[in-house]
């Protein structure tokens, strides 16, 4: 059991209850914060100087300086996630993340984790549709040590059935806890499956349970050999280290790894143009409060036309971020028909992404009425756009919120890593605040009109199952 790395696995229950099963949104939030920070810092003080190197074997190294304390956060990101799995073998990317803790010839099971713990460090790992990442936060002088460990398990992983099979029980138990016993996660799983008709984002990151039950050693090693290697990896180091020093360590550790020629550019099956308005209802005896989630298929930063993704970020903020947002104000305060109502957009995905609106009606308000109220708020934004005041507040707030992010080394490392895994560059991240500042009210209205089209969406209803003899199917 390596309890640490499974706790922050990417598809964990999200902070916002609806954006589950694929928690890329979490990254996005972090991303926005950090990117903005950079610009703010650059106005107020010395610009944050981020170094970006590529070793001969293809490994990319990003170094983010932070000298406030003698600590570094070291992350290695692999360009492989659940969307890269072979159909029928779902959950393998995440399973392999777990198995990466099972040791090599040089460092047997548990040794790496023990060393990190001994030096007072922290470690973790997470998997998303688009990437798998491992990280350690350690005293600066231990940086090279963890790089040696990571470089070793990049190609030296050894697996036996004796370690693989018990770990399979661990991920199955994880499924029970996170999906089987979590109706909102279940709802999110079903919405994703209905939203994506062809793209593998419709597949849960943790996997379909019946396929997880069959995962095995050979498949895991096969996947490992196909996707892991220096040319499929980005190392992000944030903290108290000089770039040249980090580069020297990288060359001495990762630099000796051989390029993996099996690693290819990722081309996933794409979506057909969406044409049908979809909905689904999940009834569960454990639901205490009905819940509605509508998810629209929208572009990510990487697939959007210039400015569209930024407009969607502002739109999500105006529509559904916080107590002064349109949805909350109208539905939870003015009317009030909602206990809660919000919206979110995830700009970070290698392929297309999602815009989500969600909420819970007050007791006595039926879901269809609640949905009609949500529709009216959306229709109003489409018809009349957002006010100059709303626009400015949203942009300022997005940028102001970001100021606080520079405080967190790991957040910075995560944002750059996630961006580089999904087709963006270090420069893209650094220009984020300027891109947000450039968004116009017209662009926000256009984005609402173009993308918040119900034919692009799935609406999920989570209701209490009150039937006395429900056949349990999960």
Residue 369's H or E segment, with its range, is helix 367-384
- Please report, as residue ranges, which positions from 425 to 454 form the binding site for a copy of itself (by CB under 8 A): 453
Task: State which of residues 273, 363, 364, 468 lies at the interface with a copy of itself (CB under 8 A).
Answer: 273
Question: Smallest gap, in angstroms, from Cβ of residue 218 to a copy of itself?
Answer: 15
Q: Which H/E stretch holds residue 207?
A: none
User: If DSSP codes are grouped into helix, strand and coil, which group holds residue 197?
Assistant: coil
CB of 440: closest distance to a copy of itself in angstroms? Answer: 22
Shortest spacing between CB 351 and a copy of itself, in angstroms: 12
Residue 349, judged by CB atoms within 10 A of its CB (0-12, 13-18, 19+), counts as buried
Q: Are strands 291-298 and 132-139 parallel, antiparallel or unpaired?
A: unpaired
Alpha helices in 45-182 (DSSP H): 92-99, 111-118, 143-155, 161-175
User: For a copy of itself, which is the closer residue by CB, 282 or 304?
Assistant: 282
Residue with tokens 């959950």: 91
Nearer to a copy of itself, 97 or 189 (CB): 189
Burial (CB < 10 A; 0-12, 13-18, 19+), residue 136, is: buried
Q: Tokens standing for 218?
A: 């050979």
Catalytic residue among 97, 308, 313, 390: 97
User: Contact region for a copy of itself (CB under 8 A) — 139-147, 272-280, 307-315, 397-405?
Assistant: 272-280
Out of 3, 43, 46, 87, the residue judged to bind a copy of itself by CB under 8 A = 87
In the bound state with a copy of itself, the residue whose beta carbon lies nearer, of 213 and 251, is: 213
For a copy of itself, the closer of residues 273 and 364 by Cβ is 273
Number of residues that bind a copy of itself (CB under 8 A): 39
Question: Minimum distance between the CB of residue 323 and a copy of itself, rounded to whole angstroms?
Answer: 31
Label the pairing between strands 71-78 and 233-239: antiparallel
**CA dist., res. 180 & res. 59, Å (int):** 38
List Cβ neighbours of 18 (8 Å cut-off, separation of 6 or more).
184, 187, 188, 291, 293, 342, 344, 356, 358
Q: Least distance from C-beta 284 to a copy of itself, angstroms? A: 9
**CA distances (Å), 210 to each of 129, 283, 411, 423, in order?**
19, 21, 35, 32
**Residue closer to a copy of itself, measured from CB, 59 or 89:** 89
Half-sphere exposure for 196 (CA within 13 Å, toward CB): 20
Among 332, 294, 327, which Cα is nearest to 453's? 294
> Does residue 94 touch a copy of itself according to CB under 8 A?
no
75 or 172: CB nearest a copy of itself: 172
Is residue 194 at the binding interface for a copy of itself, with CB under 8 A as the rule?
A: yes
Q: Which stretch binds a copy of itself (CB under 8 A): 1-9, 99-107, 190-198, 409-417?
A: 190-198
* Least CB distance to a copy of itself at residue 228 (A): 22
Contact pattern for a copy of itself over residues 319 through 358, marking x by CB under 8 A: ----------------------------------------
Q: Residue 270 CB: number of other CB atoms within 10 A?
A: 11
Contact between 10 and 125 (Cβ < 8 Å): no
Q: Would you give the binding string for a copy of itself spanning residues 275-314, x where CB under 8 A is met?
A: xxxxxxxxx-------------------------------
- Binding of residue 274 to a copy of itself (CB under 8 A): yes
Q: Is-catalytic flag, 167?
A: no
The CA–CA distances, whole Å, from 293 to 299, 306, 353, 463 equal: 19, 28, 16, 12
**In the complex, minimum distance from the CB of residue 90 to a copy of itself, in angstroms, rounded to a whole number:** 7
CA distance 75 to 215: 27
Best CA proximity match to 74, nearest among 21, 137, 145, 129: 137
Q: Which is nearer to a copy of itself, 40 or 191 (CB)?
A: 191
Which of 6, 24, 186, 326 is in the footprint of a copy of itself by CB under 8 A? Answer: 186
Place of tokens 């750059």: 416
**x-or-dash string of contact with a copy of itself, 195-214, rule CB under 8 A:** --xx-x-xx----xxxx---
Least Å distance, CB 18 to a copy of itself, is 15
Nearer to a copy of itself, 117 or 276 (CB): 276
Of the candidates 148, 150, 154, 156, which has an alpha carbon nearest to the alpha carbon of residue 249? 148
Pattern of binders to a copy of itself over 229-268, x per CB under 8 A?
A: --------------------------------------xx
Least spacing, CB of residue 450 vs a copy of itself, in Å: 9
89: nearest Cα among 275, 248, 213: 213
Q: Which residue number, 299 or 460, has a Cβ lying nearer to a copy of itself?
A: 460
Rounded-to-integer distance, Cα 92 and Cα 205, Å: 9
Query: Which residues lie near a copy of itself (CB under 8 A)?
Result: 87-88, 90, 186-187, 190, 193-194, 197-198, 200, 202-203, 208-211, 267-270, 272-283, 453, 455, 460, 471, 473-474
Positions annotated as catalytic residues are 97
């Amino acid at each position: 059991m390596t309890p640490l790395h499974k706790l922050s696995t990417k598809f964990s229950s999200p902070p916002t209850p609806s954006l589950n099963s694929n928690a890329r949104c979490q990254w996005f939030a972090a991303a926005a914060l950090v990117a903005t920070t950079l610009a703010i810092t650059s106005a107020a003080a010395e610009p944050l100087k981020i170094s970006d190197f590529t070793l001969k074997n293809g490994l990319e190294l990003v170094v983010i300086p932070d000298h406030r304390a003698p600590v570094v956060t070291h992350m290695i990101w692999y360009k492989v996630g659940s969307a890269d799995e072979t159909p029928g073998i779902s959950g393998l990317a995440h399973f392999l993340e777990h198995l990466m803790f099972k040791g090599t010839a040089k460092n047997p099971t548990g040794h790496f984790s023990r060393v990190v713990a001994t030096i007072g460090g922290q470690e973790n790992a997470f998997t998303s549709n688009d990437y798998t990442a491992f990280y350690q936060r350690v005293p600066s002088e231990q940086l090279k040590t963890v790089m040696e460990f990571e470089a070793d398990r990049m190609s030296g992983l050894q697996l036996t059935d004796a370690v693989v099979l018990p770990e399979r029980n661990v991920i199955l138990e994880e499924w029970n806890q996170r999906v089987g016993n979590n109706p909102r996660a279940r709802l999110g799983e079903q919405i994703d499956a209905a939203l994506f008709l062809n793209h593998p984002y419709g597949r849960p990151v943790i996997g379909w349970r019946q396929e997880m039950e069959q995962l095995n050693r050979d498949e895991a090693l096969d996947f490992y050999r196909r996707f892991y290697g220096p040319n499929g990896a980005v190392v992000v180091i944030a903290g108290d280290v000089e770039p040249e020093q980090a580069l020297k360590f990288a060359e001495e550790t990762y630099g000796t790894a051989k390029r993996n020629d099996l690693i290819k550019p990722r081309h996933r099956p794409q979506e057909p143009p969406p044409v049908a308005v979809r909905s689904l209802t999940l009834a569960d005896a454990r639901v205490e409060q009905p819940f509605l989630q509508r998810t629209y298929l929208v572009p990510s930063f990487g697939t959007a036309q210039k400015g569209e993704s930024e407009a969607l970020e502002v739109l999500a903020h105006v529509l559904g971020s916080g107590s002064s947002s349109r949805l909350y104000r109208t539905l939870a305060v003015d009317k009030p028909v909602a206990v809660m109502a919000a919206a979110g957009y995830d700009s970070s995905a290698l392929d297309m992404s999602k815009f989500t609106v969600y909420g819970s009606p007050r007791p006595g308000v039926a879901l269809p009425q609640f949905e009609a109220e949500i529709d009216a708020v959306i229709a109003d934004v489409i018809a009349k756009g957002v006010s100059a005041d709303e626009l400015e507040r949203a942009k300022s707030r997005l940028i102001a919120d970001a100021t606080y992010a520079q405080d967190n080394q790991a957040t910075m490392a995560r944002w750059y890593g996630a961006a580089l895994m999904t087709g963006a560059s270090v420069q893209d991240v650094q220009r984020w605040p300027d891109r947000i500042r450039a968004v116009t009210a017209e662009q926000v209205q256009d984005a609402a009109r173009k993308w918040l089209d119900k034919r692009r969406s799935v609406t999920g209803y989570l209701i209490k199952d009150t039937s006395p003899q429900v056949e349990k199917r999960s």
